C-alpha cells in the first residue's frame, strides 16, 4: 500500500510540476512529498526527478516510470469499479466544481438526494464561475456551461442551453432598445469576467436569409463581476444589458423585471456538460454521480424552463 501511495504522489508531482503544488493538492507538506519521492527512488534504485532551484522535471527513467504508474493506478481503479459493478456500493469522495448559479439552484438540492441513495460516497462541492484547473485542483468532475473545445478531457453532454440578452425595461426606455448587434457598442454591457481577461466577446446569430451567420463583438462596459448572479441583479436594477442563459433569468423575464433584447439576434447557445480528466475508466463513485445527475438535470431544466433547453 505504501508503494502505491508513493506512486500516486509521484504522478501528482509530475502532473503539477512541483513538490509544493503537489503537497497542496494532496494536503501534505512539501517535506513529506519529498520524503515519499525519496522512498520511491530508493525502492527502485533510480533517480526519477531532476531538481533545480527553478524547476522540477522527470528524468528519462522517471518519464517511463510515470507512464507505468498511470497504468497501475488505472488498473487499481478498474478493480475497484468492477467490484462496484457487481453489486458493491461505490465509496470515497468526489470533488465536484460547478458554476455558482447552477450550483445553488440545481446541483445543491440534488446532492442530498444522491447521498441518500449512495451513503458511502462523500460529495465535495466547490462552486465558482471561474474555470478551475481540474488537474491542479484535483477535481473529479466539473459541470460547465461553456463552448467546450477539444481537449484531453472527457465530456458528457447534458443539454444545449438557450442564451439571451436581457435588460430592465427602465434601462431600455432611458437608453433606447438596440436594433442591430453593433448598437450594443453604445450601451452599458454587464460582463462576466475572470482574472486576466482583457476583453469580452459576444457572438450573436442572425435571422432570416442570414440565418447561420454570426456577428462577433468585442464588448466593453463600466461594470463587471465574476459572479453571474451579480450581473442578473445589476440588470434588474437597471444598470445595463447582460448576456445570460435563459434558465437563469426565466423568472425575471416572466415577471417583467427583465426584457429580452434583440430576440431576433440571440447569442449562440451554450453547452451544459460534465467534464472529467481523461481516463479510460471512470471511478465507480464518479460514474454513479454522473449517471444520477444527467437525467435529473435534464428533467428539471425542461420542466421548469422548457424554452431554455434546445
pLDDT digits (tens, 9 = 90+) for 8-31: 888 888 888 888 888 887 778 888
**Chain segment 267-293, per-residue pLDDT in tens:** 988 889 998 876 556 778 888 999 999
CATH architecture, domain defined by 163-268 = 3-Layer(aba) Sandwich (3.40)
What global pTM score does this model have?
Answer: 0.68
The yes-or-no verdict on residue 96 having pLDDT over 60 is yes
Q: If 0-12 CB within 10 Å is exposed, 13-18 middle and 19+ buried, where does residue 212 land? A: exposed
Please state, in angstroms and rounded to a whole number, the distance separating the CA atoms of residues 81 and 230: 41
Domain boundaries, the chain: 2-85, 92-159+276-308, 163-268
**Chain segment 109-139, per-residue pLDDT in tens:** 999 999 999 998 899 888 887 777 776 677 8
CATH architecture, domain defined by 2-85 = Orthogonal Bundle (1.10)
The yes-or-no verdict on residue 234 having pLDDT over 90 is yes
Cβ-count burial 113-143 (b if 16+ within 10 Å, e if not): ebeeebeebebeeebbbeeeebeeebbbbbb
Q: Quickly name the fold that domain 92-159+276-308 has.
A: D-Maltodextrin-Binding Protein; domain 2 (3.40.190)
Cα 55-194-176 angle, rounded to 5 deg: 160
**Chain segment 153-212, per-residue pLDDT in tens:** 788 889 889 999 999 999 999 999 999 999 999 999 999 876 545 457 888 987 755 556
Amino acid at each position: 500500500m505504501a508503494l502505491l501511495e508513493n506512486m500516486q504522489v509521484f504522478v501528482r508531482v509530475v502532473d503539477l510540476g512541483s513538490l509544493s503544488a503537489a503537497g497542496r493538492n494532496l494536503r501534505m507538506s512539501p517535506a513529506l512529498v519529498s520524503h515519499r519521492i525519496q522512498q520511491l527512488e530508493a525502492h527502485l534504485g533510480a533517480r526519477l526527478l531532476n531538481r533545480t532551484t527553478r524547476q522540477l522535471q522527470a528524468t528519462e527513467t522517471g518519464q517511463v516510470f510515470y507512464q507505468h504508474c498511470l497504468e497501475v493506478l488505472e488498473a487499481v481503479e478498474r478493480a475497484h469499479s468492477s467490484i462496484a459493478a457487481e453489486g458493491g456500493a461505490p465509496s470515497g469522495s468526489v470533488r465536484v466544481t460547478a458554476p455558482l448559479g447552477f450550483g445553488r439552484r440545481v446541483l445543491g438540492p440534488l446532492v442530498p438526494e444522491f447521498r441518500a441513495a449512495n451513503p458511502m460516497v462523500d460529495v465535495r462541492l466547490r462552486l465558482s464561475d471561474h474555470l478551475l484547473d481540474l488537474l491542479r485542483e484535483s477535481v473529479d468532475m466539473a459541470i460547465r456551461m461553456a463552448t467546450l473545445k477539444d481537449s484531453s478531457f472527457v465530456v458528457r453532454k447534458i443539454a444545449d442551453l438557450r442564451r439571451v440578452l436581457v435588460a430592465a425595461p427602465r434601462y431600455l426606455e432611458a437608453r433606447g432598445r438596440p436594433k442591430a448587434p453593433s448598437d450594443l457598442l453604445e450601451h452599458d454591457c454587464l460582463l462576466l469576467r475572470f482574472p486576466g481577461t482583457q476583453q469580452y466577446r459576444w457572438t450573436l446569430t442572425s435571422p432570416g436569409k442570414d440565418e447561420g451567420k454570426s456577428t462577433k463583438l468585442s464588448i466593453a462596459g463600466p461594470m463587471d463581476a465574476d459572479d453571474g448572479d451579480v450581473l442578473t441583479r445589476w440588470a434588474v436594477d437597471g444598470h445595463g444589458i447582460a448576456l445570460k442563459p435563459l434558465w437563469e433569468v426565466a423568472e425575471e423575464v416572466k415577471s417583467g423585471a427583465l426584457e429580452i433584447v434583440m430576440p431576433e439576434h440571440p447569442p449562440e447557445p451554450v453547452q451544459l456538460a460534465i467534464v472529467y480528466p481523461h481516463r479510460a475508466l471512470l471511478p465507480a463513485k464518479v460514474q454513479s454521480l454522473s449517471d444520477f445527475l444527467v437525467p435529473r438535470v435534464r428533467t428539471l431544466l425542461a420542466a421548469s424552463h422548457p424554452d431554455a433547453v434546445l
